[in-house]
């Protein structure tokens, strides 16, 4: 971000003077605003440069002092006042109050327009933001390469310390120091000083304290902690108390933490709570939507995911399984995966605490619809194996593009969530649900009103369940005998019910267009 020093010394604006607040010459400018009315103060933000002619407070020293207090409290970067318009010079009340509060006041020449100044600052902000993005991308690329090359954890930490220009610590779940790293030429503290922090770390993390401080070599330090994604440890940043500025939880920082988690799992630096290293494969793909193709290839190669094949993702929800039973369930699931064979297909699994994902990898020449049928049949066998367990299953469409590995997971998750929504424990396919995802509330109501309302009214008036009968009939692909078995009805009873439904809906189930509308209407009832 541009600073007050850049504005005064390096920008193309001449004859700008810093009147007060010399200690804040490195203050960042993140935005620009104009003060033309005292009421606008409530919209000012931290690190904002405020521009004014002073007209709104030119004859009111009390208001001048109060506005300086308010801007200081908000955390504005500075107040820049244009002179030679309404002021020959900046009023004493403003300067005195700014000096008391150590708040920056800038004198602007009258010949610069506010739009000119704003444009220049915003251009610099945009330029520096782009440079920062490039810098972060370059860092992540090198960081991941180091990890994939199995370089020591100490090297990874050193890179983080240099990038953020502050000491970093890696601690385990018991708050014991595992490793640390310091920026270049950092002499204030060393690794020996950090082993005494165990008690402090334990207290801070247990109480989730972000801005607390400890003493090292008689100096106050603040510690900011971030949990690793496998819950096996923490990444910590150490700051001098006087310059404490917490690192925001950005996507960039999340990427670093995920990669560091991967490195710790890979090198077995920390004891993890996961039963499989491939868990990180799921985490990485879920949280890294814009991965470089080469990075994904390296990750796939590392874990043995054959990205040259086509794949379908099946996701099982573990949320309804008690925590104490999950280990046994996963063990049985692993056995089922080995017992239930699939033609022309290999299996890749990854999971976390709530989800178990199975990627079915098929040869590129294999027919996609046939592959989907195989996975659906497989999921039904799995479901039957765990019939006593209330588990939901979602299935993606078939994909080939390497960047769609995470998309396949997302599709399976959407299909699973829909099954949860309608409380249907039968495996759901995203491909078959596409029409349902297109329905909104308005179209759903329209379908129900035009197609099913006569049947809904009949059920309500006669205390019958013809709607439920129709649902089962459609779910059985218009097989009356199979539907009768599910409903525990005699086949003739089932046929009589169907005739009644046809009469009420004025249809014969022989028109494919009408059947589609009925199917969508039945689905809309569950939305």
Of the candidates 214, 152, 228, the one whose C-alpha atom is nearest the C-alpha of residue 236 is 228
| Element holding 348 (H helix, E strand) | strand 346-351
Homologous superfamily (CATH) of 279-429 is Reverse transcriptase/Diguanylate cyclase domain (3.30.70.270)
Distance CA 160, CA 398 (A): 39
Distances (CA, A) of 461 to 75, 234, 325, 464, 501: 67, 62, 46, 8, 15
Cα dist from 349 to 199, 282, 312, whole Å: 39, 9, 12
Domain regions of the chain by residue span: 4-122, 150-267, 279-429, 439-524
User: What was the pLDDT predicted at 395?
Assistant: 93
Q: Give the confidence band of 39 by pLDDT, cuts at 50, 70, 90.
A: confident
Spatial neighbors of 401 by CB under 8 A, at least 6 apart, are none
Is it the case that residue 200 has pLDDT exceeding 80? no
416 in Cβ contact with 315 (< 8 Å):
yes
Q: Do domains 4-122 and 279-429 have the same CATH topology?
A: no
pLDDT of residue 321: 82
Strand partners, 429: 395
For 77, other C-beta atoms within 10 Å of its C-beta total 28
**Residue 80: band (very low, low, confident or very high) from pLDDT cuts 50, 70, 90:** very high
Q: Which residues make Cβ contacts (< 8 Å) with residue 497, sequence separation at least 6?
A: 466, 469, 489
Which residue's structure tokens are 């890294």? 288
Read off the pTM: 0.49
* Mean pLDDT across the chain: 83
Burial 33-60 (b: 16+ CB within 10 A, else e): bbbeeeeebeebeeebbbbbbbebbeee
Which whole number is the average pLDDT over 398-406? 87
pLDDT at 324 > cutoff 80: no
Residue 464 is predicted with a pLDDT of 93
Q: Under a CB-based contact definition with an 8 Å cutoff, are residues 230 and 274 in contact?
A: yes
Measured CA to CA, the distance from residue 412 to residue 316 in angstroms comes to 9
Q: Architecture of domain 150-267 in CATH?
A: 2-Layer Sandwich (3.30)
Fold of 4-122: 3.40.1390
Q: 211 pairs with which residues across the strands?
A: none
Tens of pLDDT, residue by residue over 473-496, are 988 888 999 999 999 999 999 999
Contact 8, 18 (CB under 8 A): yes
């Amino acid at each position: 971000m541009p600073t007050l020093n850049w504005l005064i010394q390096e920008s193309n604006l001449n004859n700008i003077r810093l009147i007060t607040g010399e200690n804040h010459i490195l203050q960042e400018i993140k935005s620009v605003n104009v003060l033309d009315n005292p009421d606008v103060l409530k919209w000012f933000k931290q690190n904002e440069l405020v521009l004014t002619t002073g007209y709104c407070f030119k004859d009111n020293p009390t208001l001048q002092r109060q506005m300086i207090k308010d801007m200081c409290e908000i955390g504005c970067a500075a107040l820049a006042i244009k002179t030679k318009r309404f002021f020959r010079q900046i009023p004493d009340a403003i300067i005195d109050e700014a000096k008391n509060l150590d708040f920056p006041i800038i004198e602007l020449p009258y010949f610069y327009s506010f739009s000119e100044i704003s444009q220049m600052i915003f251009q610099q902000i945009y330029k520096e933001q782009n440079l920062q993005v490039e810098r972060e991308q370059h860092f992540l690329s090198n960081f991941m390469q180091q990890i994939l090359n199995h370089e020591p954890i100490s090297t990874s930490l050193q890179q983080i310390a240099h990038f953020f220009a502050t000491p970093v610590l890696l601690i385990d779940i018991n708050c014991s120091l595992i490793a640390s790293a310091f920026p270049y030429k950092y002499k204030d503290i060393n690794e020996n000083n950090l082993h005494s922090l165990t008690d402090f770390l334990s207290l801070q993390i247990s109480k989730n304290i972000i801005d607390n401080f400890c003493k090292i070599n008689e100096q106050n330090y603040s510690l900011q902690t971030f949990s690793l994604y496998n819950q096996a440890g923490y990444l910590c940043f150490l700051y001098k108390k006087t310059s404490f500025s917490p690192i925001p939880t950005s996507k960039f920082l999340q990427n670093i933490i995920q990669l560091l988690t991967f490195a710790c799992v890979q090198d077995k630096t920390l004891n993890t709570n996961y039963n499989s290293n491939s868990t990180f494969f799921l985490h990485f793909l879920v949280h890294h939507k814009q991965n470089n193709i080469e990075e994904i290839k390296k990750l796939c190669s590392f874990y043995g995911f054959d990205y040259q094949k086509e794949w379908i993702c099946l996701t099982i929800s573990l949320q309804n399984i008690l925590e104490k039973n999950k280990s046994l369930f996963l063990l049985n699931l692993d056995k089922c995966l080995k017992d239930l064979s699939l033609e022309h297909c290999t299996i890749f699994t990854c999971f976390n605490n709530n989800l178990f994902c199975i990627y079915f990898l098929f040869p590129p020449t294999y027919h996609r619809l046939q592959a989907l049928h195989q996975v659906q049949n497989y999921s039904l066998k799995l479901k039957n194996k765990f019939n006593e367990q209330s588990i939901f299953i979602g299935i993606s469409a078939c994909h080939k593009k390497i960047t769609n590995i995470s998309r396949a997971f997302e599709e399976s998750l959407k299909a699973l969530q829909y099954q949860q929504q309608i409380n249907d424990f039968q495996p759901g396919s995203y491909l078959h649900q596409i029409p349902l995802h297109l329905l909104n509330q308005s179209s759903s109501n329209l379908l129900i009103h035009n197609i099913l309302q006569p049947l809904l009214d009949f059920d309500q008036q006669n205390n019958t369940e013809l709607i439920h009968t129709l649902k089962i009939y459609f779910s059985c692909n218009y097989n009356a005998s199979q539907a009768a078995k599910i409903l525990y009805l005699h086949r003739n009873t089932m046929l009589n019910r169907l005739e009644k439904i046809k009469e009420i809906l004025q249809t014969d189930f022989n028109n494919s267009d009408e059947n589609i509308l009925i199917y969508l209407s039945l689905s809309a009832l569950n939305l």
